[in-house]
Every structure is written in C-alpha cells, then in structure tokens.
Structure 1
Amino acid sequence: MKTYGLIGYPLSHSFSKKYFTEKFLNEGIADHQYELFPIEDIKALPNLLSENPTLKGLNVTIPHKVNVLCYLNELDEAAEKIGAVNCIAIKDFEGENYLKGYNTDAYGFEESLKPLLSNHHKKALVFGDGGAAKAVKYVLEKLNIQCQVVVRKTVQNAILYADVTPEILATHKLLINTTPLGMSPNVDTFPEIDYSLIGKDHLAYDLVYNPLETTFLAKAAQQGAQIKNGLEMLYKQAEKAWAIWNN
C-alpha cells in the first residue's frame, strides 16, 4: 500500500482527499490511499512519519507551508526561492526518510493565470502575505508583473488596505486575494478596497475556491471586471504533485 496525505490545521474540508480518492478509483490505481492528517503543531511531523511507514507523499496547507521547511532534507528551486512548500516527496534513503519539498502552488497559479493576462496587466495588488502569497509573488516576478502587497497589519514592503488609493487601483489592474477572506463559512468577508474604482480592464483572481464565487469576486464582477477563482489552480497543483510523487 502506498499512502499519500494532507497535513494542516484545521482540515474541515479537503479538495485533495476527494481528488486523489476519485483519481485512484477512476484510473484503477490499486493499493493507493489518500488520508487527512490534521496536525496543529508541525513538531508532530516526525511522529506522523514514523507511525505511517507507507507514506510516499504529502500535500501541505495552512498553517504549515513555511514552518515545515526545517524538517526537509532538500528543496526544489521554486520552493527555495518562494520560501514555502505545499508538496513533499518522501523517499527511502539508507533506511531513513528523505524529504524533498516543492511548491506546486506556483505552477498551478501560473498555468491558470497566464491565459487571462492582457497587455494592461503590468501591475498587481496582492492581498495577504502568507505562504500562498509567496508563491504568487514568485510567479508575478517570473512574468515581469510588478506587485504591491496589501495587508491588515504593518509589515515591511507592504501597504495597508487604507493606503490603497484611487491612483493605485487605477494603475494596478490585476487584483489577487491570497487570504482566507470570503472562504466558507466566513463568506461575507472580503478585501476592503473601494470596488467602485474597479472596471472592465481589471482582473480579479481569488485563490479561494469554496465558495466558487467569493464576495471579492462578486463585487469585482459587478463593476465589469474579469474574475477567476482558485479551483483550476488547485487541480493543476494536484496534477503536478502526482507527477512529482511518481517521478
């Protein structure tokens, strides 16, 4: 039996378990299982690995995308530059677990974003500065799109929501939510900007996929903006994880 799973906390709902369980079933992949491992403290990871010797790969979600790094033996180039991991390949090396970290969020985001971009998407506002935002910023840099991070509490190289002026919204045509704002069950929350200043040249991208249309996306769409949720990104990062685990 080969076991794969998801670590994070809490894990009230999981796209990954449904995706991989259905994949194994539909493609006739025998002796494979995907489990949820809700660990509140990343220090529980070594015990988790020793108690589950059939583990071959893990997905990583909030809040462990950054704090898992110190438990890994190696990082791929993207994960190293981003400083966050959402996929781990587990190999046996001389009787010990050898853990290599990857960031498939970046791949999924880039592949789902690129077809939507136009020439006027030269600058982006990125709401949030967590692990997911790190992957987004990495991709934007690759695509030569300038980005400005927007946060609720003062951090270096970021501005506050109150600092998002009409001039900034006029020049930053790409709006990306990397926060849990709007995610079920807190569907009434959203990045607090002036949506009346958004127009048809704006592209609003939300990494949240539950619900499929967040309040952020609905408000942007009402102003004529193009919108995109995080579901395709999720599928693409899952496919990439499967390819890594089977490399």
Structure 2
Amino acid sequence: MREFGLIGRTLRHSFSQTYFSQKFDSLGLADHQYGLFELSSIQEFPDLIAQHPNLYGLNVTIPYKEKVWPFLSEVAPSAARVGAVNTIEFTADGRLVGHNTDMIGFRDSLRNWLPAGFQGRALVLGSGGGSKAVEVALRDLGIGYWVVSRNPLGQGLTYDDLTPEVLQEHTLIVNTTPLGTVPDVHECPPIPYEALTSQHFLYDLIYNPRETEFMKRGQAIGAQAKNGFEMLCIQAEEAWKIWNR
C-alpha cells in the first residue's frame, strides 16, 4: 500500500482526501490511499512518520507550514523561496524534502482570473504560510502589495490602517486567513467592506464553503470574487508530480 495524506491541526474542512481519493480511483490505483492526520502539536510529527512506514508523500496545512521545517531533511528551492512548506516528498533513500506548490497554485489561478493587463495593487490579509506563497506569486506577476495583519512585524499594515482611501488604491484583496472556513462560516476579515467597488477583485484562499462571507460581502457591492478551489487543484497536481517523479 502506498500511503499519502494531509497534516494539520483541524482537518474537517479539507477537500484534499476527497480530491486524491477520486484521483486514485480514476487512475485505477487501488493500492493508493490518502489519510487525514490531525496533530495537536507538530511535536507529534515524528511519531506519525514512525507509525506509517508506507508514507510516500504528505500535504501540510494550517498551522504547520512553517513549524514542520525543523523535522525535514532538506527543503527544495520552492519552499526556501516562500519560507513555508505545503508538500513533503519521501525519497527512496529515506529523506523528507519540503516543497511549496501553493505559490504555483495561487499564481496560475490568479493569472487565469484577473483581466489581461491588470495594473492594480493588492492587500494580502494574513501573514502565515499561505500569505508567504501569495507574496511570492504577486512578486512574480509584478503586482505590488501590502501585507495586513493584526500585529504586523516590520513593514505592513494593520486592519485599523484600512481606510476607504487605502482600499481605493488596492483593487485586489487576497484573504489568506482561515476566517470564514467551515464551520465558522459567518466570520470574515475585518475590512471596511462598504468601501469596496465594482472595480475590486476579492480572492479567498478558502474553498469550503464555496462562497465565504468575505466573498459575499464583496459581491453584494458588485466586486468580483473567487474562492481557492482552483488553487487547491493546481497545487495538488503539482504535489502529485513531485511524489511520482
């Protein structure tokens, strides 16, 4: 049996197991399975590896994209560049190599969605591992941005800094926080939604629910909105390539 899976603290919202299980079925891979491994602490990671000797690959989600780093043998350039790991490769010689496919997933999904020649700036809500992948993707696409968090370190904005004028100058807003994820679907980032316009684009990395409160509030004013499902699919396919090369 070839085993794959996802590690995180709370995984009831995840679609990864369904995605890969359906992929295995479509490819006729009866000896492949994908599990969900909830860890209350990243210190449980070594025990998980010891208990599952048939692991061939793992995905990593909140809050361990950065915390898993010390437990890896090495990190690939993609993870080093982002500063976060969302995919772990188990090599034939027993090494654990961290990769980041979130950046590719977000970059390609955003490029598919934004109008050609988009010239706006972006606000990145949140400063965790997902935010770091978004930042790298925005730099690749030549889109300037500010990171927004409750307690920014160094350069950045707080939510209190988000005046209507700031929102007018930043027409792309990316939510990388977990606010609004199932089951807490009525939560959303604390931005001045009334300052949004039909010229704004709201991208939410969350994909469950399909339409978050963040998206709903933007759409109510005429903004365009997109969830993270396409990003999930793209990054998953990139992870699959890594696990099978």
TM-score, normalised relative to structure 2: 0.95
Alignment of 1:38-117 (within 5 A): 38-93=38-93, 97-117=94-114
- The answer to whether the 8 Å contact 2:13/2:208 transfers is no
- The answer to whether the 8 Å contact 2:119/2:143 transfers is yes
Distance 1:50 1:184 in 2: 31
- The count of corresponding residues between Structure 1 and Structure 2 is 244
Unaligned stretches of 5+ residues in structure 1: none
Distance 1:11 1:185 in 2: 11
Write out per-residue CA displacement over residues 191-234 of structure 1, whole angstroms, 9 at most, x where no aligned residue: 22222221122110000111111111111111111110011111
Match of 1:214 among 212, 215, 234: 212
Match of 1:165 among 158, 163, 166: 163
- The answer to whether the 8 Å contact 2:124/2:173 transfers is yes
Distance 2:43 2:61 in 1: 15
Residue 129 of structure 1 corresponds to 127
- The answer to whether the 8 Å contact 2:13/2:182 transfers is no
Write out per-residue CA displacement over residues 105-159 of structure 1, whole angstroms, 9 at most, x where no aligned residue: 1111111100222334431001110110010001011111111111123432221
For the residue of structure 1 that corresponds to 2:199, the secondary structure is coil
Q: Which moved more, 1:72-81 or 1:117-126?
A: 117-126
Unaligned stretches of 5+ residues in structure 2: none
TM superposition shift of 1:27? 1.8
Q: Which moved more, 1:186-195 or 1:223-232?
A: 186-195
Distance 1:77 1:91 in 2: 16
- The answer to whether the 8 Å contact 2:13/2:181 transfers is no
The alignment's C-alpha RMSD in Å is: 1.3
Distance 1:246 1:120 in 2: 36
